Amino acid sequence: MKDFPKIMFASALGFIIAYILLGLIMMIVFAASAGSIFTSLDTKGSYELKDNSVLYMKLTGTIQERVVDDELSSLLGDQNSVVFGLNDIVGAIRKAKNNDKIKGIYLEPGMFSASPATLAEIRQELEKFKESGKFIIAYSDSYTQGGYYLASIADKVVVNPQGMLELHGLASVPMFYKDALDKLGIKVQVFKVGTFKSAVEPFIQNEMSEANRQQITAYLNDIWSFMRNDIATSRNIAPAKVDSLVNKMVAFNKTDTLVAAKLVDTTLYETEMKAYLRDMLELEKDAKINTATIQDMKSVNSKKIKKTENTIGILYAQGNITSGNGSQNIQDKYLVDQIEKLRKDKDIKAVVFRVNSGGGSAYASEQIWKAIGDLKQEKPVVVSMGDMAASGGYYISCIADKIVAQPTTLTGSIGIFGMIPDMQGTSNKIGIHTDEVKTHEYSDFGNIFRPLNEGESAMFQKYINNGYDLFLTRCAEGRGMPKDSLAKYAEGRVWTGNQAKQIGLVDELGGIQTAIDMAAELANLGKSYVVFEYPKLKPFWEEFFSKNKEELVAKTLKETLGESYEMFMLVKNLKEQDYMQARIPFDPNIN
C-alpha cells in the first residue's frame, strides 16, 4: 500500500518544486551580492527601550503560532509575506503591560490574515493590558473585519476620513472539483464513516450536503456570536444593533456614518492622529514619538531564562499530520521523538501541548496519541487548542489530562475517510491502455487505471470502519465518556470550542495562558516555574545550509501556494500517505 500510486504527478511536481527552490536560491544570491546578508545574520543587537514610549502594533501579512525571523523577507522588503508569531505578539503586549517605559499601545491593523481563534487570543491579551491603566488607541486607513475586531477593544478607535471599515459577518465558501475532475476523466472513490465528514465532498459533489450545510451554519453562527458580542460590549452597542449595521454593509458608507453608529470615535488623517498621540504622551508639537515594534520587544528584558527543576514545556504541533522525520507540519516520528525527550527530562514537570491542526494521517495520529499517553503517565499534559484541533488534531489531543480551547476554535470532527482515484477515464481520453498479469486475486490492488471491484470496495470500507471504531474508542477513553454517548457527537461533525465544552469534548475555554496555569496547578508548581517552548525553531540560514533541504522546500512551497498548500501536498504524497485520513476539509475558508 505504501507504493500507491507511484507514478502520479511525480514529474510535474518535481519540476515545480525545483523551479521554486531555484528561484529562492537566485533571490538569496542576488541579495547576498547586493548587501552580503550572511555577515548580518545573528548580529542583531538588543533594543533599548526609551522612556515615554508606545508599543506600535502594525499588523500586516499573516499570523501563525510562532515563527523564526525571516531574514529573506526583511531583506526584500516584502510586506505581504511578513509573518508574525502569535507568541511574539502576546509576549510583546505582556512586556509592554509590565514595563513602566511603555505608556500605551498604538494599534494599526492593516491587511493581515488570522483566524477567529488567533484574533481572540490577541484580543484577550489586549484586555489584560488595559487592566494596567495604560491606553490603547487604534488607527487605520481601512479596517478589515479581523482588524476592527481587535481595534474595538481600544479606548479610542479612529479611521481616516477617506477610509473604510469592513464589517460583513462570516461566510464559508468551499470549492468543489467534481466537474473539473470529470472533464479530466478522474473519478474519486470515497470511503468514509461520519455523516458530517465533509472533507471528501469537493471531490465527489458540486455543492454542500445538507449535513455539512447544517454544521457549517451552526459553527459560523456560534463564532460570529462571540465576535459580535465582544464588539458590542467594547463599543457599548447592543448586539442586535451590530447585526443591523453588518446587514447594511457599512464598508461602503461615508466615515461620518461610522462615527454616528458608534463603530468609531472620530475620523482623523494620519498627521492629525500623530498629533493626538503626542497629546496623549504630553509631548510638544512635532516632537519625536518613541515607539517599539513587536520585533523590538522581543529583545527587551530578554535575559536568557535558565531551566529550573520546575519547568513547564510548551510543545507546538501545527499543520497537517503525516508520517515522517521532519519538523515541517506534524510528522509523527519527529514529534514522538520530541515528546519522548520531554518525558525523560526530569526538570519538566508538566507539558502544555499546543495543537493547531485539521488532522491528516490516522496512522500517524495514533502514533502521536500513544506518545502523549506515555507522557501523561509521568507528568500532567494539558492541551491548548489553537485555530483548530479537529479530526486527527482531536485524536492526538483527546488523551490529555485537560483540554483548553478558545470559544471560536474548530474542533471535534471525529470521523475517518479514505480516497482512491480512478483514472481509467483519463487514460481512455489520451489513448493509454493497460493490461495485467497477476498471481493472486488482489495482486494489482492500487492500480489507479481501473475502478475498485466489489471485493476491494468491501474490504476498504471495513478498513475505514475499523479505523473509525478505534478513533471513537480513543476519544471515549480519553474523555472518560461511554463510547455510545460520545458517538452522538462524532460522525465527523465539527464543533466550536464553545459547543465542544457544552458536550464534554473540551474542559475549559481560554487561551494558552489558561492552559499553562492549569498545567502548573496539576503539577503543584504554584507560581515558581519557568516556561520553555519546544521544539527549538531553526533560523532561516540554518535551514538553508542544513542537509535536510526538504524542510526549506516545504516552507517555500507553503509561502508560495498559500491556502492551496495542503491540497498540493496531499496529491504529492498520495504514494506515501496512509490510506486512512482523519482530517477536516483542507480549508474551512471562513472569511
Q: Tell me which of 127 and 451 has the higher pLDDT.
A: 127
Q: Which residue intervals of 85-133 are DSSP H helices? A: 86-98, 116-130
pLDDT tens readout for residues 139-158? 999 999 999 999 999 999 99
- Cα–Cα distance for residue pair 151/145, rounded to 1 Å: 10
pLDDT score for 328: 81
Confidence check: pLDDT of 73 > 60: no
Residues near 265 by Cβ (< 8 Å), separated by ≥ 6? 156, 157, 158, 259
- Burial class for 48, CB neighbours closer than 10 Å (0-12, 13-18, 19+): exposed
- Cα–Cα distance for residue pair 556/336, rounded to 1 Å: 25
**DSSP states of 494-532:** EEEHHHHHHHTS-SEE--HHHHHHHHHHHTT-TT--EEE
- Cα–Cα distance for residue pair 166/60, rounded to 1 Å: 16
Mean pLDDT value across residues 28-49: 48
pLDDT score for 584: 79
Place of cell 516555574: 529
Tell me whether residue 391 is one of the annotated catalytic residues: yes
**Cβ neighbours around 132 below 10 Å, total:** 13
pLDDT score for 532: 94
Instruction: Please confirm whether the linkage preceding 451 is cis (ω < 30° from 0).
Output: no
Question: Which among 284, 260, 492, 505 has a CA at the least distance from the CA of 403?
Answer: 505
- Cα–Cα distance for residue pair 6/17, rounded to 1 Å: 17
pLDDT tens readout for residues 211-222? 999 999 999 999
Q: What angle do CA 486, 364, 402 make, to 5 degrees?
A: 45
- Cα–Cα distance for residue pair 388/410, rounded to 1 Å: 4
Q: What is the pTM of this model?
A: 0.85
Grid cell locating 81: 509575506
Mean pLDDT value across residues 476-492: 95
Q: Tell me which of 496 and 23 has the higher pLDDT.
A: 496
pLDDT score for 331: 93
The CA-to-CA distance between both ends of the chain, in Å, stands at 38
Q: What percent of the chain has pLDDT over 90?
A: 60
pLDDT tens readout for residues 6-20? 444 444 445 455 555
For helices 116-130 and 210-235, angle between their N-to-C axes, nearest 10 degrees? 20
pLDDT tens readout for residues 371-380? 999 999 999 9
Q: Tell me which of 186 and 292 has the higher pLDDT.
A: 292
> E strand or H helix at 562, and its extent?
none
- Burial class for 564, CB neighbours closer than 10 Å (0-12, 13-18, 19+): middle
- Confidence band for 184, pLDDT divided at 50, 70 and 90: confident
pLDDT tens readout for residues 79-116? 456 889 999 999 999 999 999 999 999 999 999 999 99
Catalytic residue among 197, 402, 555, 572: 197
The answer to whether 37 and 75 are in contact (CB under 8 A) is yes
Tell me whether residue 172 is one of the annotated catalytic residues: no
Least-confidence region, from 333-342, 453-462, 466-475, 551-560 = 551-560
Pairing of strands 102-113, 381-390: unpaired
- Structural domains in the chain, sorted by start: 53-168+249-297 (3.90.226.10)
- Confidence band for 536, pLDDT divided at 50, 70 and 90: confident
3-state helix, strand, coil split of the chain in percent (to 5) is 45, 20, 35
pLDDT score for 370: 97
Confidence check: pLDDT of 60 > 90: yes
Confidence check: pLDDT of 560 > 80: no
Rg (CA), the chain: 25
pLDDT score for 427: 83
Confidence check: pLDDT of 201 > 80: yes
Question: Which among 215, 217, 236 has a CA at the least distance from the CA of 225?
Answer: 217
Question: Which among 215, 320, 388, 366 has a CA at the least distance from the CA of 567?
Answer: 320
pLDDT score for 293: 95
Confidence check: pLDDT of 498 > 90: yes
For helices 549-561 and 565-572, angle between their N-to-C axes, nearest 10 degrees? 130
- Cα–Cα distance for residue pair 430/346, rounded to 1 Å: 62
- Confidence band for 231, pLDDT divided at 50, 70 and 90: very high
